[in-house]
Structure 1
Amino acid sequence: MRVALVHTNLTRGGGMEAYLLSLVKGFRRQGDDVTVYACRVDHQLAEELGCTVQQIRPPWPRKMREFRFLHCCNQLPLRRDYDLAIGTARTCSPHVTVCGGVHVETIRHIRRTALFRGVYDLFENRFEEKAFREAPYIMAHSGTIARQIRDHYAIPANKINVLYPPIDTETFTPMEEAERVQARSALGIQGHQTTFLFVSCGHQRKGLDQLLKTFSVLDPNRYQLLVAGSPIGSGHPANVRYIGYVNNLRPVYSAVDFTVLPSYYEPFGLVVPESIQCGTPVIVTKSVGAAELLSEEEGILLEDNSHETMVRTMTRLDSGHRVAAGFAEQHGLTIEQHINLIKKAYT
């Protein structure tokens, strides 16, 4: 089968960049011919993945180049030229446009101060609406996203399918206890400490402010927070430690007692199934899309992300709990399962 994938970046990263790589890997493993249309391209990565690349890089200023790229992609006859075309950016030319988060909803939960960001949001919203109205199908990465698409854009429910994004189950696997002890030691985790992990490149939306308030109250001898991803600056509590941007999160997920994601708005949250697949339970707010999949065995749902609620929750936890293997397989979150679901739904 000839497959086209459209995204602004073919690079390593989180969020939709990681999802794009999962799609390429999944289709290629099933023998499909994959072409990626992208503005920014890591050509070495493309070679490793075994996909064809069509780079569209308009000579526009960097801040506006993305929108010119989307416009160019919207003119492509992808539905004619490919058996299946999927857009993971806000494009209307593929058969399927994937929504990993409704932009109108996102900006309700973050503070915009720069004038340019307001203009940027207007363009984002315009391309988002065009994609939803003109693409034949919409894939929403959670039930929450599907409801928000219907609420904001009045899109018919029968046009939207909910398919949760996959994780790489070859990367995220449980560690043996001896290996886990080594990982804890490497991170400087003391046996008497209950250790939490916060993974984020968007701290404002994901609730870092409330976490810092939480750990300023908690006993630093008993509780600590590790932060991976974007820097957190100075002035944070002594029991909060920034460990940098981590490419291989498996040993970190495995070492800690809980992964915490107290987002104000989180369309899905890949860190949730990644952590659980490594055996580590999660603490998330109800606004996290992946919370739809959780049972009491795998995680704790917070009523809100206030520091009072988190302090109350964290001081009552049993730090010895590990999650049984098989979460991803149970919920159709392996890459192979995801590709099979896509083909069943759209071909």
Structure 2
Amino acid sequence: MRLCIVTHNIIKGDGQGRANYEIVLEAIRRGYHVTLVAINVSPKLQQNSQVKWVPISVKGFPTALLSNLVFTWQSRHWLQQHHHEFDLLQVYGCVTDYPADINAFHFVHSGWLRSPAHTWKLQKNLYGAYQWLFTALNAHWERKSYQMSKVLVAVSEGIKRELIDIGVNPNKIRVILNGVDVEEFVPEVRERSQFSLPENVTLALFAGDIRTNRKNLDTVLHGLVHVPDLHLAVVGNVTKSPYPQLASQLGLSERVHFLGYRRDIAEIMKAVDFFVFPSRYEPFGMVVSEAMATGLPVITTAISGVAEIVTPESGVVLNDSEDVIALADAMAKLASDRDLRSQMGQAARAIAEQHTWKSKAKIYVDLFEELHQGKA
């Protein structure tokens, strides 16, 4: 089978890009040839004789919206000329507007646009207006893309519901949850000093984009006020982030440790006691499953797709992302009980081991084979 995948990134250390990377590895293992129309491709894949990379350049464009448009135009032009060279085409959302056999949805912009936590609804300024435009246009393009796709893959049941809400036939949808690297994320211990984090205190971790409100660090900080003995490590780019200032205003500067953007998140997770991630809108939330694989109890919200694998034995799922007191109570409960954290961490690890990337990649490639056989 000759497979073509069109997406921005096919690299190991990037959310959706990681899913793409694992799918390509499994396709190669089964002897298939894979054409990758992408901006970035892992060097390991570039060196494989079964892989052909068609690079798309979006350098020099000032916004994500313009970059995405350029990628769409260039990829469509290439597909129009070369579609006869492969047997099956997989795309991601509205990354291109060429008809596809499989379209995998890791994010539904229509759902985010309807969310009461959308940036525009909280920031009535130029930045908020840009976010509204970006989301609204992508929502429009998504509707076109699902109409042109034979099968849609949703990364959670929540994403499936959102696709149905915008008119997708449920019979076209397959649910394949995202996976986790249980070899990189493992229950080990690291010295906090190497990350400039305090020893001999209970330490929670938050990781995500802290330049916008979607990941909900503000509620974590307000909740932390009610848990006076708990410290918090924050991984995320602080450039233009309002949260260092908010932490200072709340009197939390000595207990909140901003580490900036880091690529060693797997190591940092080994140095903390539990993970907190009450996102306001999250199609899945791979960082939560990575924390579970590290053997950490987790706190997340029902709106997050990853909540579908979090059990009461492994973590806490909050019904309301804005409930400061409920979040504070959950953090206080974990902060005060070391034995409970240990028990929940073991349960979390056991769940993560059932959702490895290799197992998810096999499901994807099985689906490719099923569709290819149907076309024969």
Structure 1 match to 2:234: 227
Distance 1:79 1:272, change over 3 A: farther
Residues 1:70 and 2:94 are matched in the alignment: no
TM-score, normalised with respect to structure 2:
0.81
Structure 1 match to 2:151: 137
1:125 aligned partner, one-letter code: A
Comparing 248-257 and 55-64, the one that deviates more: 55-64
Structure 2 match to 1:200: 208
- Residue of structure 2 aligned with 1:298, choices 314, 338, 349: 314
Contact (CA 8 Å) 2:110, 2:136: kept in 1 or not? no
Distance 1:257 1:43, change over 3 A: closer
Residues 1:327 and 2:327 are matched in the alignment: no
Unaligned regions of 5+ residues in structure 2, if any?
370-376
- Residue of structure 2 aligned with 1:244, choices 260, 268, 274: 260
Contact (CA 8 Å) 1:260, 1:284: kept in 2 or not? yes
Residues 1:210 and 2:219 are matched in the alignment: yes
Distance 1:314 1:326, change over 3 A: closer
Quote the Cα distance in structure 2 between the aligned partners of 1:230 and 1:268. Answer: 21
Residues 1:87 and 2:86 are matched in the alignment: no
Quote the Cα distance in structure 2 between the aligned partners of 1:58 and 1:208. Answer: 31
Q: CA deviation at 1:45?
A: 6.2
Matched residue of 2:53: which SS?
Answer: strand
- Residue of structure 2 aligned with 1:162, choices 164, 175, 182: 175
TM-score, normalised with respect to structure 1:
0.87
Quote the Cα distance in structure 2 between the aligned partners of 1:134 and 1:122. Answer: 19
Q: CA deviation at 1:48?
A: 5.7
Matched residue of 1:95: which SS?
Answer: strand
Comparing 228-237 and 282-291, the one that deviates more: 228-237
Comparing 77-86 and 129-138, the one that deviates more: 77-86
Structure 2 match to 1:310: 327
Q: Give matches, 1:162-181, under 5 Å.
A: 162-175=175-188, 180=189
Contact (CA 8 Å) 1:172, 1:250: kept in 2 or not? yes
Q: CA deviation at 1:227?
A: 0.7
After the TM superposition, which segments of 4 or more aligned residues of structure 1 sit over 4 Å from their partners? Answer: 10-13, 42-46, 58-62, 77-80
Quote the Cα distance in structure 2 between the aligned partners of 1:339 and 1:44. Answer: 19
Distance 1:216 1:65, change over 3 A: same
Percent of residue pairs identical: 25
Q: CA deviation at 1:44?
A: 4.4
Unaligned regions of 5+ residues in structure 1, if any?
none
Q: CA deviation at 1:156?
A: 0.7
CA RMSD of aligned residues (A): 2.5
Contact (CA 8 Å) 1:167, 1:328: kept in 2 or not? yes
Quote the Cα distance in structure 2 between the aligned partners of 1:101 and 1:261. Answer: 18
Residues 1:346 and 2:368 are matched in the alignment: yes
Quote the Cα distance in structure 2 between the aligned partners of 1:73 and 1:293. Answer: 35
Deviations 1:222-260 (A, max 9, x none): 201111122145321221111122212222222211111
Q: Give matches, 1:94-105, under 5 Å.
A: 94-105=100-111
Quote the Cα distance in structure 2 between the aligned partners of 1:143 and 1:129. Answer: 19
Contact (CA 8 Å) 1:263, 1:284: kept in 2 or not? yes
Residues 1:117 and 2:131 are matched in the alignment: yes
| Residue correspondences, number | 335
Structure 1 match to 2:372: none
Quote the Cα distance in structure 2 between the aligned partners of 1:190 and 1:43. Answer: 37
Matched residue of 1:122: which SS?
Answer: helix
Quote the Cα distance in structure 2 between the aligned partners of 1:49 and 1:170. Answer: 23
Structure 1 match to 2:275: 259
Quote the Cα distance in structure 2 between the aligned partners of 1:230 and 1:49. Answer: 34
Contact (CA 8 Å) 2:109, 2:136: kept in 1 or not? no
Comparing 78-87 and 294-303, the one that deviates more: 78-87
Deviations 1:104-126 (A, max 9, x none): 11133322233443333332122
Deviations 1:266-296 (A, max 9, x none): 1100011111111111001111111011112
Quote the Cα distance in structure 1 between the aligned partners of 2:353 and 2:27. Answer: 18
1:73 aligned partner, one-letter code: S
Matched residue of 1:5: which SS?
Answer: strand
Q: CA deviation at 1:61?
A: 4.2
Matched residue of 1:301: which SS?
Answer: strand
Structure 1 match to 2:296: 280
Contact (CA 8 Å) 1:272, 1:290: kept in 2 or not? yes
Deviations 1:162-195 (A, max 9, x none): 00112222211222xxxx1x4344343423x221
Distance 1:84 1:337, change over 3 A: farther
